Amino acid sequence: MRVIYALWIRNLKIFVRNKPALVLNLVFPFFFIYVFGEIFRNDAIENHITYMLAGIIIATVFDISLRVSTTTIDDITSGFMKEVLVSPISRLAIAAGQFVSSATVATMQGLIIFVVGFFIGLRVTSPLTVIYVIFAMIFVGLVFAGFGLLIATKTKNIQTFQAVSIAVTMPMTFLSGAYIPLSLLNDVLTGIAYFNPMTYAVAFFRTIALEKTNLSLVEMVNEGLAFEIGRFTIAPMASMLILLVFGTVFLALSTITFVRVDFSRLNRNKSDSIEFE
């Protein structure tokens, strides 16, 4: 526990110390709201600004969580991981520390945007909604922390990692309904979106944040909160369950990979890359 806590504090400090990133992370979402909100005005949706906002909050949580948990790759390249590996602590604790940190940082950033959202028209009628929103952010944060660590441990050098992370995050963000409503996508892209865990995160988070839980299924489908896939209709609750499955798989897989990966084989820098040949 002490290890998890120490890693948690470490990652929070890194997050808070990086002031420029803090500001950019706050500016970008509102920039996106302005741009995409104007382009994708949709009559089926009553308040497109808050609709966009909810999507962007959860996209930010996704993005930050992924980024923080992939700082593991920085730790590996900077050599810090080597120090960790010769110490008598379990790798399980390290993985757990990374997950908890990522989810926390992501939730904090998400909350900041959420709060600023009140100045541009976001309203909640029940204080419970705020609590649900926080829990939803932590949950989504954890899911993608697992995903991030998986990418970080699978791609062993920083160049590959950067390429992979762009290749993965871009489609995951844009084919999820967070910025662009799914109804505007063609059949192929919509089909792809259904395999994207972010799609379900967006749908279920939006339903909670905009207090739409009382809507009928038909209304939910109209507003893009529920999906009709073939004969099935996926309600926000089902979305959450799907995300839970994704999350469990990500966390389990990434933990297993992280515990097993041979860090001495990592391509950290030039002089080390020829170490074993």
**Shortest Å distance, C-beta 69 to another protein:** 15
19 near another protein, rule: CB under 8 A: no
Check if the beta carbon of residue 80 is closer than 8 Å to that of residue 123: no
6 near another protein, rule: CB under 8 A: yes
Q: How many residues bind another protein (CB under 8 A)?
A: 29
State how far the Cα of 206 lies from the Cα of 184, in Å rounded to an integer.
18
C-alpha dihedral (91, 246, 16, 27), degrees to nearest 10: 160
Using the minimum distance from each CB to another protein, give the nearer residue, 17 or 231.
Answer: 17
As a whole number of Å, the CA-based R_g of the chain is 19
80 near another protein, rule: CB under 8 A: yes
91 near another protein, rule: CB under 8 A: no
Angle between helices 127-154 and 197-209 (to 10 degrees): 160
Q: Interacting stretch for another protein, rule CB under 8 A, among 86-94, 152-160, 213-221, 222-230?
A: 86-94
Checking phi first, is residue 167 left (phi over 0); if not, alpha (psi -120 to 50) or beta? Answer: alpha
Cα–Cα separations (whole angstroms), residue 224 to 51, 218, 230: 10, 10, 16
Binder of another protein out of 22, 49, 84, 124 (CB under 8 A): 84
Q: Interacting stretch for another protein, rule CB under 8 A, among 56-64, 80-88, 107-115, 237-245?
A: 80-88
Using the minimum distance from each CB to another protein, give the nearer residue, 79 or 121.
Answer: 79
Question: Which residues make up the interface to another protein (CB under 8 A)?
Answer: 2-3, 6, 10, 13-14, 17, 75, 78-89, 264, 268-269, 271-272, 274-277
